[in-house]
Amino acid sequence: MPKGYLIGHITVTDPDAYKAYVERDTPILEGFGGRFLVRGGRSEAPEEPMKDRHVVIEFPDFETARKAYYSEAYQEVLKIRLKNAESDIILVEGV
């Protein structure tokens, strides 16, 4: 069965406030079987402008990635990110 992925491209606008998001989102997403494959680190965009930070979270399947993102718990924590960062989030099925 193909894996599901949540991919985020993020520019944090308030690093201190954003820490609360990272502390609270991690156990929620891991509770859905999410495994962080990429979380920050060096990056380069040779063809386009990009956000500062990148995250790739692997889930057992696409539906589980959707359930994690749309869960009540994550939607509550999401409010912190929306206030303190500019984000592009994608849910995608892998091969």
Domain boundaries, the chain: 4-43+51-93
If one looks up domain 4-43+51-93 in CATH, what number appears?
3.30.70.100
Residue 4 · residue 95 · CB < 8 Å: no
Distance (Å, rounded) from C-alpha 60 to C-alpha 1?
A: 8
Q: Model confidence at 48, in pLDDT bands (50, 70, 90)?
A: confident
Q: Model confidence at 49, in pLDDT bands (50, 70, 90)?
A: confident
Quick one: the chain helix, strand, coil %, rounded to 5?
40, 30, 25
Between residues 45 and 74, the one the model is more confident about: 74
The pLDDT of residue 36: 96
Strand order in the sheet with 4-12: 35-39, 53-59, 4-12, 85-93
The pLDDT of residue 50: 85
- pTM of the prediction? 0.91
Percent of all residues in the chain with a pLDDT value above 90, rounded to a whole number = 84
